[in-house]
Amino acid sequence: MKKFNGKGVYGAVAIGKISVFKKPDAAIKRVRVEDTEKEKERVAQAKAAAAEQLRKIYEKALKEVGETNAQIFEIHMMMLEDDDYNESIENIIDSQSVNAEYAVALTADNFAEMFASMDDPYMQARSADVKDISNRMIANLTGAAADGAETNDKMIVCADDLAPSETISLDKDKVLAFVTAHGSSNSHTAILARNMNIPAVIGVGDEFLAQINDGDTAIVDGFTGEIYLDPDEQTLAKMEEKRAADEEKKRLLQDLKGKENVTLDGKKINIYANIGGVDNIGAVLLNDAGGIGLFRSEFLYLENTDYPTEEQQFHAYKRVLESMAGKKVIIRTLDIGADKQVDYFGLKKEENPALGFRAIRICLTRPEIFKTQLRALYRASVYGDLGIMFPMITSVSEVQRVLAVCDEVKAELKEQGIEYSENVELGIMIETPAAAVISDKLAPMVDFFSVGTNDLTQYTLACDRQNPDIEQFCDTHHEAILRLIEMSAENAHKNGAWIGICGELAADTTLTETFLRMGIDELSVSPTFVLKVRDAVRKCDLSK
Ligand code: PEP
Ligand code: MG
């Protein structure tokens, strides 16, 4: 047995077999070959297999999501047959005497770059598609596709690091736990693991990856961050016990379902849930959340290979609102950029992405994307109690511009005779120090604030949330952060707005009483933490 240490980001125990996550393009090596004809034959076989796979996916999509959404796979099939694409692969093999995988990867890079540099947004979006079909070809060449298809058991997925888009594309029903060599606890991957209720340990180091193989048995302790590789009988028994005790504790919390979020002295608070997609609604309802305090709508964009259409978005938002049956649903507009990169947006590489072209900055610069999303949101608003929230606000003028676009969208809908609700609450995220400091000016402009403590911590303490090496300096309880939250709460209430917290700190029950004393009206947490926070609220006595 070997033991490794990382940082636990979702407390639960998992015992099972390891599956090493392979990034298709990261593993490609350039190998010199003698027999170039053989490589070209391998390409032909991989292509035939890809065409067959795409045909099946297209048929499945046609049945499940309709023709418009299935079209993308038709485009993939056409790209696979594209003469320029195929000639490029053959030329690279012939001229450089290299392996098929390398020729496909190089062609993919060249074509993707060419598409990304075009002016037409439609052509730019093809950049992601050419990478997608090439990854499929490479998976067929390396046999990676077959590997993934074989197992039906839930596995402990181990990776160097996982990007949010990679995490979201994993089949959730097959993931028992996440373990990554790198990554930080406030990253979106860690947040996704929490949302998905999956034990996760990050930052175990390269040594761990070097020692594991597919199929090895391991125990992941998401509470302590410990990983046991090939555990002995004694450890196995001890950890089985820990897992059972944890499950029992979580089961006991179930008794709080249907109970109020009220302190011993009678103060009530809303406890809502954070979600990343329509799939999470089951967990929201199961854990008895009073509403949705943050729907990270960017995951609709991350799941797609092209801009989601107004229609696609409308259906997703409508489904969330209908499923919540009149309970509050706060949908945050697109927060792409920084660690959440989407190829088809064709964003430039930046020195400091967290301080760069992100979230509302993209929306205000590319109004066609913003307006499509707002139209979908307003159209869906008649199906429930919708709130719209805007991320990464730093100034009054940004809010003015945002509100003007909302008015424009509503006026257009009205003119077209399309229904929308007049009762949509509009709010902003307080996740930059600037927004907190001028919260007295911002509060009169909106209905609510929602504090994004993940970014507020990053920007206040100058600590990159993606960098695991500085976690010791990233004190989420820092007085500066608590003062900014308190200041925002005071300013919200003075101006008739309400205030919630939707960052990860909202689930930190050592702060529940502090937040209640500040007058925070709502805490929005991963669905699995709703009952834990309710328990903490019910144990508080603010009269003392
Ligand atoms: C935050 O910054 O606290 C937040 C809730 O937004 P995200 O984690 O999606 O950046
Ligand atoms: Mg944020």
> Percent of the chain having pLDDT more than 70?
94
In a mutational test of the pocket of ligand 1, which residue from 294, 454, 458, 488 has the highest number of ligand atoms less than 8 Å from its CB? 454
Atom of ligand 1 nearest to the CA of 455: 2
Q: In terms of pLDDT, which residue wins out, 28 or 141? A: 141
For the ranges 95-104, 181-190, 424-433, the one whose mean pLDDT is highest: 424-433
Token readout for 296 is 């990270």
Question: Is-above-0.85 flag for pTM?
Answer: no
Mean pLDDT along residues 470-498: 96
The whole-angstrom separation of Cα 453 and Cα 185 is: 13
Atom of ligand 1 nearest to the CA of 505: 3
Q: List residues near ligand 1 (CB under 6 A).
A: 191, 294, 296, 335, 431, 452-455, 502-503
Active site residue 188: yes
The whole-angstrom separation of Cα 105 and Cα 95 is: 15
Would the pLDDT of 25 be above 70? no
CB 525 within 8 A of CB 531: no
Q: What is the Å distance from ligand 2's center to 378 Cα?
A: 23
Would the pLDDT of 67 be above 90? no
Cα distances (Å, whole numbers) of residue 188 to 125, 276, 421: 24, 10, 32
Please report, as a single letter, which amino acid is at residue 323.
Answer: S
Please give the angle made by the CA atoms of 44, 45 and 51, to the nearest 5 degrees.
90
Helix (H, G, I), strand (E, B) or coil at 99: coil
> Percent of the chain having pLDDT more than 90?
68
Cα distances (Å, whole numbers) of residue 53 to 50, 139, 140, 162: 5, 12, 10, 25
- For residue 314, give the nearest of 380, 250, 359, 362 by alpha carbon: 380
Looking at all shown ligands, the one closest to residue 523's CA atom is 1
pLDDT score, position 146 = 45
In a mutational test of the pocket of ligand 1, which residue from 187, 431, 476, 523 has the highest number of ligand atoms less than 8 Å from its CB? 431
Would the pLDDT of 151 be above 80? no
How many other C-beta atoms can be found within 10 angstroms of the C-beta atom of residue 48?
A: 12
Looking at all shown ligands, the one closest to residue 294's CA atom is 1
Q: Which of 158, 188, 363, 406 is catalytic?
A: 188
Where would I find the H helices in 274-380?
281-286, 298-302, 310-323, 360-365, 367-380
Would the pLDDT of 533 be above 50? yes
The whole-angstrom separation of Cα 33 and Cα 28 is: 15
Q: Which residues pair with residue 19 across a beta bridge? A: 157
Q: In terms of pLDDT, which residue wins out, 181 or 195? A: 181
Token readout for 451 is 């504090």
Residue bearing the CA closest to ligand 1, atom 8: 454
The whole-angstrom separation of Cα 508 and Cα 476 is: 10
Atom of ligand 1 nearest to the CA of 504: 3
The whole-angstrom separation of Cα 91 and Cα 107 is: 10
The whole-angstrom separation of Cα 300 and Cα 320 is: 13
The whole-angstrom separation of Cα 155 and Cα 169 is: 15
Q: What is the Å distance from ligand 2's center to 356 Cα?
A: 13
pLDDT score, position 144 = 65
Residue 17 has φ and ψ, to the nearest 5°, of -100, 150
Average pLDDT value for the chain: 90
**Residue 147 banded pLDDT, cuts 50, 70, 90:** very low
DSSP conformation class of 98:
B
Mean pLDDT along residues 500-529: 97
Atom of ligand 1 nearest to the CA of 458: 2
Token readout for 480 is 């500066």
Residue bearing the CA closest to ligand 1, atom 1: 452
Look at the block and give the residue holding tokens 């328990």. 535
Would the pLDDT of 40 be above 50? yes
In a mutational test of the pocket of ligand 1, which residue from 429, 476, 505 has the highest number of ligand atoms less than 8 Å from its CB? 429
Please give the angle made by the CA atoms of 506, 523 and 487, to the nearest 5 degrees.
80
Q: What is the Å distance from ligand 1's center to 441 Cα?
A: 22
pLDDT score, position 150 = 42
**Residue 193 banded pLDDT, cuts 50, 70, 90:** confident
Q: In terms of pLDDT, which residue wins out, 145 or 456? A: 456
Q: Which of 363, 463, 474, 502 is catalytic?
A: 502
Mean pLDDT along residues 337-366: 91
